[in-house]
Amino acid sequence: MATLTVPASVPAVADDCEQLRKAFEGWGTNEALIISILGHRDAAQRRAIRRHYADTYGQELLRSITDEISGDFERAVILWTLDPAERDAVLANEGATKWQPGSPVLVEIACARGSAQLFAVRQAYHDRFKRSLEEDVAAHVTGDFRKLLVPLVSAYRYEGPEVNTRLAHSEAKILQDKIEHKAYADDEIIRILTTRSKPQLLATFNNYNDSFGHPINKDLKADPKDEFLKTLRAVIRCFTCPDRYFEKVVRLAIAGNGTDENSLTRIITTRAEVDLKLIKEVYQKRNSVPLEKAVAGDTSGDYEGMLLALLGKE
């Protein structure tokens, strides 16, 4: 499902580092060389490059990158070069400390990652920021959003396939009852969404659809302007159909008069080694335009080149 393309014969790590050093030196930066190397290496290879580069040149690769390039291109290269857990930690820190109602970043990290992945993000957060993700979310997020997001980012869900059908039926009824009474931040809704395994939640949502004749998210659209309802819908979509969720984020980032570069960069850099191929297929089917063409039409220069490389464009 990944779009990342890695050469059949990858140069030695020392050779990659030497080429990157050359790209940074001299009067002008060789941005195309940076893209050709970092844009075509997987997480383990990028990790080895960072380690060898620091050992050889006495400077962190990320520092060399920020010294030489800037803007959206810099952000895309930096986020991509980070380890996945470290990248998510950086994004989660931004999502927490710059939080606004309806911001989706914390939901994406909490709900579209596996339990071990989310645990690794929290460990990376400790190492990088010398605080816990949970305490930053609690410090910066307010009201019902804090009530939902703190346990979401703290979760370590069971990942086995087992499903309790009786429980799915009873909890679907609980959800319907609370939603019907507009108790959207009720403790029971929070408990179900933040503790149940993903297979159990899928069974519950399917039971909701079967029992009440429509998907749960339809009942969470009572007020389209309500940001908490929007957040609840994002939680459920990240569990049930992450490919369609991320397609919508990308589509909205590209649509309209201006481009939301932060969202576009976030989705492409976090999904290129996961399921970006599937997201591309959903985008093509919904919009009748290849995602690469849409990105090329809405971005430019080296930033465009980096995104297209991660999208798998030859």
* Binding residue numbers: 24, 26, 28, 68, 254, 258, 296, 298-299, 304
Tokens standing for 204? 């519950």
- Of 103, 133, 98, 99, nearest to 119 by C-alpha is 133
Residue 213 buriedness (CB in 10 A; 0-12 / 13-18 / 19+):
exposed
CA distance 106 to 210: 30
CA distance 239 to 201: 8
Beta carbons within 8 Å of 286's beta carbon, 6+ residues apart: 247, 251
Residues in binding site for Ca(2+):
24, 26, 28, 68, 254, 258, 296, 298-299, 304
Residue type, 29: T
Q: Where are the alpha helices (DSSP H) in the chain?
A: 13-24, 31-38, 43-57, 61-68, 71-81, 84-97, 105-111, 115-129, 133-140, 143-154, 165-180, 187-195, 198-212, 216-219, 227-240, 242-254, 261-271, 276-287, 291-298, 301-310
Query: 212 to each of 196, 201, 207, how far by Cα in Å?
Result: 21, 16, 8
CA distance 291 to 117: 27
